[in-house]
Chain A
Amino acid sequence: SQWGEENLQALSIQEGEDVTMNCSYKTYTTVVHWYRQDSGRGPALIILIRSNEREKRSGRLRATLDTSSQSSSLSITAAQCEDTAVYFCAVGTGGYKVVFGSGTRLLVSP
């Protein structure tokens, strides 16, 4: 199957917990995108991490990138209810294609 064709994974946590989502990709890339999609809307970028960064933070979000293992992770510290959304990673595959991973549906409960 194609990368990203699988069903969304589901994660359910309590408010205040930390959570990490992982992304493994098979093609060479120097940039990994992380997007958030709220219900009924298009995806919106939350972090873009490049191969020379290894780690990038934005508020309570932290992304890592390991090009040797072709993997990336997105962590949310002290999750809030408003973090409830679907999260995707995406990579550029060369030739200007950008493909998405299968995604994680995160539910944060009070």
Chain B
Amino acid sequence: EAAVTQSPRSKVAVTGGKVTLSCHQTNNHDYMYWYRQDTGHGLRLIHYSYVADSTEKGDIPDGYKASRPSQENFSLILELASLSQTAVYFCASTSGGGNERLFFGHGTKLSVL
């Protein structure tokens, strides 16, 4: 079974601080994604990547940066965390862009105070 590991599992951050969420996959997948999920809502796409050293903006990229230093690793960076960024963040990987299943991590619960 394909594996996507996110760290940390939960984090409390202060407003204005820097937060880095990490994602590691052992699936040998080219495509990786970051989504956020607010309570009672669906998943919204923040950033994605289809090759190492390159990232693309999703539907809600403002306030977030992404980094893909290798095929296996994909990070989401909040340079200046804000209260509105409190959410659960999911990383996913896939072999075929939108044409194949996504494998998700367990999520990172971020609380910004």
Which residues from B are CB-within-8-Å of A90? 102
B97 contacts A96, C-beta separation under 8 Å = yes
Residue B48 at the chain A interface, CB threshold 8 Å: yes
B102 contacts A43, C-beta separation under 8 Å = yes
Interface string of B39-56 (1 = CB under 8 A from A): 011111100101000001
Write the nearest CB–CB distance from A63 to chain B, whole angstroms. 13
A31 contacts B98, C-beta separation under 8 Å = yes
B41 contacts A98, C-beta separation under 8 Å = no
Name the residue on A nearest B58 (C-beta): A97
Contact A31:B99 (CB < 8 A) given known A2-B59, A41-B107, A95-B56: yes
> Using a Cβ–Cβ cut-off of 8 Å, how many residues does chain B contribute to the interface with A?
29
B97 contacts A92, C-beta separation under 8 Å = yes
Write the nearest CB–CB distance from A5 to chain B, whole angstroms. 7
Residue A67 at the chain B interface, CB threshold 8 Å: no
Within 8 A of A (CB), among B29-83: 31, 33, 35, 40-45, 48, 50, 56, 58-60
Q: How many Å lie between the Cα of A95 and that of B97 in the bound state?
A: 8
Q: How many Å lie between the Cα of A30 and that of B94 in the bound state?
A: 16
B42 contacts A5, C-beta separation under 8 Å = yes
Name the residue on B nearest A93 (C-beta): B98
Write the nearest CB–CB distance from A104 to chain B, whole angstroms. 10
B44 contacts A2, C-beta separation under 8 Å = yes
A102 contacts B104, C-beta separation under 8 Å = no
A42 contacts B100, C-beta separation under 8 Å = no
B104 contacts A42, C-beta separation under 8 Å = yes
Residue A110 at the chain B interface, CB threshold 8 Å: no
Which residues from B are CB-within-8-Å of A93? 98
Within 8 A of B (CB), among A1-55: 2, 4-8, 29-31, 33, 35, 40-45, 48
